[in-house]
């Protein structure tokens, strides 16, 4: 059997848990709950609808909210679009004149590109610069709020650095000024204990694929008591209480629900095991000369380790590590070698940002794999640094 490289890219996608696959399969064939959950006229439809509602409860339970507050979507990207664009459109339709948004420079592209789209619609957007560790300062947010700010969107955990921001404190500040607060929890749900019922967060993006559920399904939590006006982005059929048209994919939702249930039952042990392995990796790397650990040492999700290597040519980094499947920054930016905008926003130069690795661990990462990865990085980095310094001598720099 050929050995595949050690998979250390869980922050980009996770393998689906076999227990999740088992539940999904039950929703597909003639003897299962394959029917349209909106078919009101027969038992097939009723049973499919029951599966959808049971899984809405599982999703809601992980974040401590009511299932009535959960709208299913095709993933975190769509949920972010619905939260930002849907809110703006609904407010505009009501004649609400507010048109200022606050977010930060290290959000996922799906938030940043929605903000750019809203700028074209005439909104103003303030992009906060995070602290060096990637967290967002409440005082900085306070200073950025304006009388016509209607929305603040800040992720709970950053997908490149793993840093967790205190979204509840940020949301409380917004609530005191009548501003809606949205957070993307794609990297944190299940790993960071979150009770949104007792939080001022008004909308939260959830996804399945980062916690061992299938891709292509997610949800948006919308706090009922906050009376958030939202316009659907996809119309037709009136599904999801009119917020998201299209036949609800029972198998996807069953998979997401099971993944969320597993996180609720096992997330804590999973997080402890993953954090211990990450710590082992971190300790092994600490001895390398010129290594920089990015992100927060204390406030973080367990599985993400972002490191930069001084004196290494970033173009050489991943090609020199064939035994490791990791990312140089974020999946969306890694087809060309543009330096990660996240690492640049925390102050790295282009070359240091390029010479960076995001190593992300998950449910099936083993001790043996960490040892294997560690050995390869420990062997390769000093060589690359040596090559880098020879190159610099030749260039006369």
Ligand X SMILES: *Cc1c(COP(=O)(O)O)cnc(C)c1O
* 77 touches ligand X by CB under 6 A: yes
CB 329 within 8 A of CB 160: yes
Q: What is the 3-state secondary structure (H, E, C) of 291-309?
A: EEEECCCCCECCCEEEEEE
How far lies 274's CA from each of 8, 85, 113, 210, 293, in Å?
Answer: 12, 36, 32, 14, 18
212 versus 285: smaller Cβ distance to ligand X: 212
Site membership for ligand X, residue 110 (CB under 6 A)? yes
Residue 254 or 374 with smaller CB distance to ligand X = 254
- 296 touches ligand X by CB under 6 A: no
Nearest to 316 by CA among 372, 234, 386: 386
Active site residue 115: no
Please pick, from the candidates 184, 200, 270, 369, the single residue that binds ligand X as defined by CB under 6 A.
Answer: 184
Q: Is 76 or 101 the residue whose CB approaches ligand X more closely? A: 76
Q: CA of 292: how far to CAs of 210, 222, 388, in Å? A: 26, 39, 17
> Is 45 within 8 Å of 39 (Cβ atoms)?
yes
**Does 108 contact ligand X by CB under 6 A?**
yes
Kindly state the helix (H) or strand (E) to which residue 80 belongs, with its residue range: helix 76-81
Distance CA 366, CA 368 (A): 5
The residue with its CB nearest to ligand X is 75
Cβ neighbors of 81 (< 8 A, separation 6 or more) are 110, 114, 233
Q: Is 163 in the site for ligand X (CB under 6 A)?
A: no
Decide whether 320 or 365 has the Cβ nearer to ligand X. Answer: 365
Binding mask 28-57 for ligand X (x = CB under 6 A): ------------------------------
CB of 217 to ligand X, least distance (A): 8
Could you tell me the smallest distance in angstroms from the CB atom of residue 2 to ligand X? 29
Nearer to ligand X, 126 or 208 (CB): 208
Closest CA to 169 of 144, 143, 135, 200: 200
Does 159 help bind ligand X (rule: CB under 6 A)? yes
- Give the integer Cα–Cα distance in Å for 73 and 41: 25
Site for ligand X in 210-229 (CB under 6 A): 210, 218
Stretch of 70-78, 84-92, 246-254, 258-266 contacting ligand X, by CB under 6 A:
70-78
CA distance 318 to 354: 10
Q: How far apart are CB 178 and ligand X at their closest, in Å?
A: 26
- Residues forming the active site: 332
Q: Give me the residues that bind ligand X (CB under 6 A), please.
A: 75-77, 108, 110, 155, 159, 184, 186-187, 207, 209-210, 218
């Amino acid at each position: 059997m050929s050995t595949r490289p050690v998979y250390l890219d869980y922050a980009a996608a996770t393998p689906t848990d076999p227990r999740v696959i088992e539940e999904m399969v039950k929703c597909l064939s003639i003897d299962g709950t394959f029917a349209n959950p909106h078919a009101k006229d027969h038992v097939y439809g009723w049973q499919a609808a029951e599966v959808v509602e049971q899984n809405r409860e599982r999703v809601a339970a992980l974040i401590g909210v009511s299932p009535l507050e959960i709208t299913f979507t095709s993933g975190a990207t769509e949920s972010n679009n619905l939260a930002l664009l849907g809110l703006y459109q609904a407010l505009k339709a009501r004649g609400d004149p507010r048109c200022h948004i606050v977010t930060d420079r290290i959000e996922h592209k799906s938030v940043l590109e929605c903000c750019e789209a809203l700028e074209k619609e005439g909104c103003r957007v303030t992009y906060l610069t995070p602290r060096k560790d990637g967290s967002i300062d409440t005082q900085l947010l306070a200073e950025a709020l304006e009388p016509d700010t209607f929305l603040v969107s800040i992720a709970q955990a950053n997908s490149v650095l793993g840093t967790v921001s205190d979204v509840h404190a940020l949301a409380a500040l917004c609530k005191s000024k009548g501003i809606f607060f949205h957070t993307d929890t794609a990297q944190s749900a299940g790993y960071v204990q979150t009770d949104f019922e007792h939080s001022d967060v008004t909308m939260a993006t959830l996804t399945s694929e980062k916690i061992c559920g299938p891709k292509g399904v997610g949800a948006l939590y919308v706090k009922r008591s906050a009376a958030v006006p939202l316009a659907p982005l996809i119309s037709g059929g009136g599904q999801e209480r009119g917020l998201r048209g299209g036949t609800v994919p029972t198998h996807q939702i069953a998979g997401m629900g099971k993944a969320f249930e597993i996180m609720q039952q096992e997330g804590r042990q999973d997080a402890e095991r993953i954090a211990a392995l990450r710590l082992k990796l971190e300790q092994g790397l600490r001895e390398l000369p010129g290594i920089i650990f990015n992100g927060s040492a204390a406030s973080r999700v367990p599985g993400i380790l972002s490191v930069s290597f001084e004196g290494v040519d970033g173009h050489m980094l991943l090609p020199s590590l064939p035994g490791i499947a990791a990312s140089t920054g974020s999946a969306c930016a890694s087809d060309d070698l543009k330096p990660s905008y996240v690492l640049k926003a925390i102050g790295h130069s282009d070359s240091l940002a390029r010479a960076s690795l995001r190593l992300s661990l998950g449910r099936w990462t083993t001790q043996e794999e960490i040892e294997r990865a560690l050995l390869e990085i420990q062997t390769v980095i000093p060589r690359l640094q040596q090559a880098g310094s020879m190159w610099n001598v030749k260039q006369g720099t």
